[in-house]
Amino acid sequence: MKRLFALTIVSLFLLVLVGCDGEVTLTAPENVTIAAGTNGLDVVLDWDEVTDEIDGYIVYFETAAIGTVTTAGYTDASPTETGDYYITAYLGEDESDPSTTVTTTPVNTPAVPIYELEADGNAGYGWNLAGEMKGSTYSMTDASNDVLVDFYVTNFIDDPVGGPWPLNYNIASPTEGPNDPGGIVPTGSWRTTWFTDPITDPQAPLPLYSSTTYFNFTEIDVDPIYMGFYLDSEGYFGLVTFSGANAGAGSIQVETWIQPVAGLRLIAH
Amino acid sequence: MRKMAILLIAVVALMVIGCQPPEGMTGGVSQEAFDELKTQVETMQTDLDNVHASLDQLIEDYNELKAKVDKGSAPVPKPPAPSKPPRKGAK
């Protein structure tokens, strides 16, 4: 009986050993960061080295492996699509859990009405950069909104009281507000934003930031219209589209996309 | 003939005497009334001079005021109406 018991114990121990053979738990990469390359098109990923014995890392884009590296760090050269990236560590056939996800997907704010500067509604618009990066409209007559507004809509005309508010409208940097002929924007520390000329392909990368490609305002002269923007303080690029201008109401619909990776000109969505 | 001459002299003398105003009268008006009238005329003359002076002053004030009004209402160059700002490139 004693002999049978000992045999059973040894057998179970051997089973445990055999069952565990080949199973290695790898630590997932941590502290993944994402940034734009100096050309504004490359996506630069970085993370902390895993201290376990590993062969390297696998980089994924939208669940598809796009590259392997033996040390931390990877550059996705000029991707044409935006999306989610994550990393795993691997050793032989073993692979760690995925890291946290980082993304280049632009944050979309669906269309909302915005108004010409002197019309009866908010003419200012800004993104919550410290939060989810969603856009909201703001009044341009309140100087305390100067830290919130990233652009406003104006026809650069001193309109009669009660309208109409003639077309064409313009998207303009808030810094132009106090000097706008509308004459209702108080002085303040209004933010600076720059705008491209109208864009024909809203999925293509935005132009390189320069004094010949970005301006203090752009006229909204077709319907619909797309134009890129660049937030001067934070370096975020994004895309704005306007449609349905209504001179009688002084309104126009605006929809936006903002790239959450500062300096990245890719707004494909 | 001599009688005729005496009569004529007498008539002339009577006419001269008869045409003399009563004592204290000048031209049918008493001296006092005449002096009073003279005083009134002099007063009226003074008043008229004052009126002339006042009128001259009034005209002078009017012209001065008119000059000021004309100067004030003269067309003043207006500042240029605010317009669309120049489009400038990013910095």
Using one digit for the tens of pLDDT, what is the confidence trace for A114-150?
Answer: 999 999 999 999 999 999 999 999 999 999 999 999 9
Nearest-10 Cα torsion for A44, A50, A56, A57: -40
Nearest to B89 among A156, A170, A215 (CB): A215
B50 by Cβ neighbours in 10 Å (0-12 / 13-18 / 19+) ranks as exposed
* Cβ contact, residue pair A215, B87, below 8 Å: yes
Q: Tell me the pLDDT tens digit for each residue of A142-185.
A: 999 999 999 999 999 999 999 999 999 999 999 999 999 999 99
Nearest to A211 among B82, B85, B89 (CB): B89
B84: nearest CA in chain A?
Answer: A156
pLDDT, tens digit only, all 91 positions of chain B: 566 667 667 656 666 666 565 565 555 667 888 788 888 888 888 888 888 888 888 888 888 888 777 766 666 666 667 789 999 999 8
Whether the CB of A179 is below 8 Å from some CB of chain B: the reply is: yes
Q: Which residues of B touch A214 (CB under 8 A)?
A: 89-90
Note the pLDDT of residue A29: 98
Q: Which residues of A touch B83 (CB under 8 A)?
A: 156, 181
Beta-sheet pairing, A107-115 with A251-258: antiparallel
Note the pLDDT of residue A8: 47
Residues in a beta bridge with A98: none
Phi, psi (deg, nearest 5) at residue B79: -65, 150
B86: nearest CA in chain A?
Answer: A216
Determine which of A23-37, A229-243, B23-37 has the lowest per-residue pLDDT on average.
Answer: B23-37
A168: nearest CA in chain B?
Answer: B84
Amino acid identity at A132: E
Beta-sheet pairing, A251-258 with B25-26: unpaired
CA distance A27 to chain B (A): 46
Note the pLDDT of residue B25: 57
**Angstrom distance (rounded) from CA A258 to CA A266:** 10
Contact yes or no for A42/A34 (Cβ under 8 A) = no
* Cβ contact, residue pair B90, A156, below 8 Å: no
- Rounded to an integer, the average pLDDT of A74-84 is 98
Whether the CB of A230 is below 8 Å from some CB of chain B: the reply is: yes
**Angstrom distance (rounded) from CA B85 to CA B91:** 16
Going across the sheet that includes A74-76, the strands are: A33-36, A43-46, A74-76
Nearest to B83 among A181, A211, A230 (CB): A181
Closest CA to A135 of A251, A217, A231: A231
CA distance A122 to chain B (A): 20
Q: Tell me the pLDDT tens digit for each residue of A8-18.
A: 444 444 444 44
- Rounded to an integer, the average pLDDT of A50-72 is 98
Note the pLDDT of residue A105: 98
DSSP chain B: -HHHHHHHHHHHHHHHHHHSPPTTEETTEEHHHHHHHHHHHHHHHHHHHHHHHHHHHHHHHHHHHHHHHHHHTSPPPPPPPP-PPPP-B--
Note the pLDDT of residue B8: 66
Whether the CB of A236 is below 8 Å from some CB of chain B: the reply is: no
User: Hey, what domains does chain A have and what are their CATH numbers?
Assistant: 23-103 (2.60.40.10), 107-258 (no CATH)
Q: CA geometry: angle at B74 spanning B68 and B79, to 5°?
A: 130
CA distance A227 to chain B (A): 15
ipTM value > 0.85: no
* Cβ contact, residue pair B91, A179, below 8 Å: no
CA distance A182 to chain B (A): 8
Phi, psi (deg, nearest 5) at residue A201: -115, 100
- Cis (ω within 30 of 0) for the bond into A164? yes
Q: Which residues of B touch A190 (CB under 8 A)?
A: none
**What HEC string does chain A produce?**
CHHHHHHHHHHHHHHHHHHHCCCCCCCCCCCCEEEECCCCCCEEEECCCCCCCCCEEEEEECCEEEEEECCCCEEECCCCCCCEEEEEEEECCEECCCCCCEECCCEEEEEEEEECCCCCCCCEEEECCCCCCCEEEECCCCHHHHHCCCEEEECCCCCCCCCCCCCCEEEECHHHHHHCCCCCCCCCCCCCEEEEEECCCCCCCCCCCCCCCCECEEEECCCCEEEEEEECCCCCEEEEEEEEEECCCCEEEEEEEECCCCCCCCCCC
Nearest to B90 among A156, A179, A211 (CB): A211
Contact yes or no for A236/A259 (Cβ under 8 A) = yes
Q: Which residues of B touch A209 (CB under 8 A)?
A: 90
